[in-house]
Structure 1
Amino acid sequence: MSSDPFVARLERLDACAVSDALDKLGLPGCVTGLRSAMPGRRIAGRVHTVKLKAGSPPAGRPPVHLGAAAIDACAPGEVIVVEQSTGIDAGCWGGILSRGAKQKGVAGVIAEGPVRDIDEACEINFPVFSRGYTARTARARVYEDATDVPIGVGAFTVHPGFYVVCDSSAAVFVAPADIERVLAAAEEIARREAEMVRRLESDELASAVLGANYEYMLKRED
């Protein structure tokens, strides 16, 4: 569990509330289309990044197992985000990595690319979000270029140290400079939505509960 108070607040919010907060504030950061290996699970934390490239490592570079350095760099409750956008059908994360990450206390993994050994990740209850699944090894197909560098996830550039919340709807990234105001906006959105749910469960008409208030909830404040 992270000791970061911002992470503790982020863990109480879903991706939709945080995405709505980004919209309200005019910020990017929502990445859709990722597949959750365990629908219903949500992760949140600070980010460590891994960038992969096609082919084999340049001559003279010592061999490394992709993802291992990121696991070593993680504190409990942090999240690993991997870019494998080469278009090559090769896993950018696998079962042994999931086991090592879980042992270290990593909150989960988000992969811009395919992952493998997904049944093993589910077996040990380790959250993985990805573009898809494969059985093909990374060996001789892709290699780790760098750890903790800017990477691309969807159309968004993710930097190490960013905050993220990820669930079955999306991965939503927030820069540290923006986290306090994004959290404040998201918490207010969540509070207002909870009140709407309470009213609906009290048998108020949906048109009365939702109405114009919901439509204007994300209006930007100048």
Structure 2
Amino acid sequence: MTIDKDRILFTLVREKLFTAVIGDVMDAAGLTRQFLPPEIRPLRAETVLVGRAMPVLQADCAGDAVGHLGRAEPFGLMLRALDELAPGDVYICTGASPRYALWGGLMSTRAKTLGAVGAVLGGFHRDTREILALGFPVFSTGGYAQDQRLRGRVVDYRCPIEFANGCRVSPGDLIVGDVDGVLTVPAAHVGAIIDAALKKAASEQDVRGMIEQGGRTQDIFDTTGVM
């Protein structure tokens, strides 16, 4: 039932809304730090991402360290995190320094086979051509081929994470991304925020019509409160 409800929600957000209008209504609701850093961009401008957060915490390291089980653990918990992606999930990762890629083509292939809907990275991706050919939505700070294996590892997942600009993401939050950025809607507020965003989007359509008919923007704003 939850998967079906999410599928309906994702389609509604994808077809009717966009990050700007969702961000505006969150500002009005006092949720003012919900956008991820602005340098996180889609590989393709037309990409729209809607899904549930599966947060991943990355940390820098030096070499293949031996873990508590007495064996080398390249990538830390990354492979486990990847294998636990569920339909509708967004792999969303932060915590690393900008020295290596956090995501690549084989990860995209695995995520897609599991029904995940995208990856959002507070850092670089690699294998750009492979990801584009696969058609898997990825948002990152750019492409950079340096591997993470000897430089970073996943230390936790399905845990709250915080980006450098103070935006916090918790498991199950709604993630929405488009050409204007990526934001997170806290799970407890999704219903109210999406309802308000749909109303605001409809109001903006009305205002657009008023402008096209020659109305003064000041008068329109005084009447509608929308601009």
Fold match, TM over 0.5? Answer: yes
TM alignment of 1:1-222, pairs within 5 A:
2-3=3-4, 4=6, 5-12=8-15, 13-27=17-31, 28-31=33-36, 32-55=38-61, 56=63, 58-61=65-68, 62=71, 63=73, 65=75, 67-87=78-98, 89-153=99-163, 154-200=165-211, 203-205=212-214, 207=216, 211-213=220-222, 216-217=225-226
Q: Give the conservation status (yes or no) of the 8 Å contact 1:91–1:137.
A: yes
- In structure 2, relative to structure 1, the CA distance for the partners of 1:53 and 1:210 (3 Å cut) is farther
Structure 2: state its 5+ residue gaps. Answer: none
1:183-203 per-position Cα deviation (integer Å, ceiling 9, x unaligned): 111111111112233455xx4
TM-score, structure 1 as length reference: 0.86
What is the RMSD of the two structures over their aligned residues, measured on CA atoms?
2.4
Superposed CA deviations along residues 9-53 of structure 1, whole A, max 9, x for unmatched, are 333321111101111111031223312101111011111011111
Indicate if the aligned counterparts of 1:57 and 1:143 stay in contact, CA closer than 8 A. no
TM-score by length of 2: 0.84
Letter in 2 for 1:114: F
- Cα 1:22–1:120 change in 2 (3 A) is same
Q: Which amino acid aligns with 1:217?
A: V
Task: State the one-letter code of the partner of 1:168.
Answer: V
